Structure 1
Amino acid sequence: MQYSAKVLTILMINGALLAGTGCSSLIDKHVEYETIQPDTYPVLRAVGYAPLSAQPGETQGQKQLLAIKVSKLEAYRELAEQLYGQNLTSSMTVKGAIAQNDGLKAQVKGLVRGAKVIKTYAVGDTYATELELDMKQVYDLYIAQAKPKKIKKIHYSLK
């Protein structure tokens, strides 16, 4: 049985590759990582509002405290919208080429860490809360937990 030079060359290359992979357990690999840092960090701001007179409570003080809490939660919701966006669901029922029912549902879901209350104040019958979220602080909190890395250098050595 005779083989052409081309076929013999291919068989020799395949044999060398197989032999080389069989020895891979003789080589140790050490990978060095470095963290990746963004160039800029934006500062996000949000304002939440709550009507004072619409709050449940027996006294003006109770209504005021609830309005402050609600306005703070609304500001956090606005920050979450800026960070994660809104999940919108829409539905419409049509019967005989006439719209019967039309609905829209919005949902925000996310974790906001590191936000600071800048101001809480009354504007007439409404309470407002201003929040600020420095993305540099969010990045630092994230790095402390996740420690994302990229490959910096790989060292190979024989066992």
Structure 2
Amino acid sequence: MKLKNQHIKNSDLIYKARNFAFEAHAKEEQRYGEHAYSKHLSDVFLHLISMGYSEPEYLATALLHDVLEDCPNVTRLEIKNLFGIDVLNNVIALTKLSNGEPNYALLNKFPVAKAVKIADSTANLGQGLLEKNSKSAKYIKRFPTYQQQLRIEGEYENLWNAMAERIIVYEALVLV
């Protein structure tokens, strides 16, 4: 797999998003298991890179994907002004509805957000493997719904397959 390294090297947007997201989540003292929440953001970011999605919009969205949901002092206007309307729309699409469910309509409208959602779920499953916790069971339970609501044949197949493989490993190692 060839990565488009020029996207990573040449994007101040990615570094700005990283710093902004890490700081916003640190202010909330949010944790990811035993780790600072920045580990989760890094896991999603690195998963996208490993799957070949290194364009700045994907990576900035990955880093910022939880800021509206988890950081009450972060505003939509702030994200728009700092990162642009496309990243803002992706982050809005990734923000759960008031009932705690994903916003499938917006995820389908914004494909970059959809890719980040799949990578986010895969990263959460990976953390569940490391911690041997049952929290990941909700991602396994939601996987058929995610596929039904979001999967389009030929779109992000490598991400869907990676998530399916992670589920198989999780079920084999954790649910025994």
| TM-score bracket for the superposition, by shorter chain length | under 0.3
Considering fraction of residues, name the structure with more helix: 2
**Larger strand fraction of residues:** 1
Higher relative CO (Cα under 8 Å, sequence separation at least 6) belongs to 1
- TM-score norm. by structure 2 comes to 0.22
